Chain A
Amino acid sequence: GAVVSQHPSWVICKSGTSVKIECRSLDFQATTMFWYRQFPKQSLMLMATSNEGSKATYEQGVEKDKFLINHASLTLSTLTVTSAHPEDSSFYICSARGANAEAFFGQGTRLTVV
């Protein structure tokens, strides 16, 4: 299957700083990628759809100014958590669809804001 790589796997940052998470499709091109968030023992919640060369589409309730998404190439999307606070601590995971529409997920990034 297709490979999606996410970096970093985990990050600890101080409150008020920004953190960038990268999501790469390694062996295919992805015009669309998706970002999810997962709290402990809960399901994955869709945050936004990242479109190559255009603005991301955010789900209701997700602050676009806090969660900046950039999809500058067909193989890279980035999520920047700006001015992070402890309530932003969570597991963030990205996904992209392969050629046959099957979705593949990155390893996820565990963010802890202290």
Chain B
Amino acid sequence: GIQVEQSPPDLILQEGANSTLRCNFSDSVNNLQWFHQNPWGQLINLFYIPSGTKQNGRLSATTVATERYSLLYISSSQTTDSGVYFCAPGQAGTALIFGKGTTLSVSS
């Protein structure tokens, strides 16, 4: 099955800083999503991005499917950005496979 590696595992930032989270995956995929898991466990959809680049406010993501990686950019981080960020690629019709996540802590 697909192997997913996320880096860094932990990230500590001051409010206002920028960051880049990386996701490498082992096989070709038709689907890739980024999620933010809040303290109550809810997975918040950030991006559905099997390829290309998307932006949503202070967040943007890029997936280079041919090179099997995706990046999540967070600019001007805020304390509310704290939490765990998961990358989850998958193939058509099958379940998403989750990486181990990046735990982000933003302090004021």
* A contact set with B: CB distance below 8 Å: 1, 32, 34, 36, 38, 42-46, 49, 91, 93, 95, 100-105, 107-108, 110
Contacts and interface: CB of A to CB of B under 8 A. Distances in A.
A42 B96 CA distance: 16
A43 B48 contact: no
Contacts of A107: 40-42
6 contacts: A46-B95, A101-B30, A103-B33, A105-B35, A107-B41, A107-B42
Interface of B: 30-31, 33, 35, 40-43, 45, 48, 86, 88, 90, 92-101
Main secondary structure of the interface of A (DSSP, over half): strand
B59 to A, nearest CB: 16
Nearest to A104: B45
A43 B45 contact: no
Contacts, number: 52
Given A43-B86, A44-B86, A103 B41 contact: no
Contacts of A110: 41
Contacts of B33: 102-103
Contact of A43 (B90, B92, B100): B100
B31 to A, nearest CB: 6
Contact of A101 (B41, B92, B99): B92
Contacts of A95: 95-96
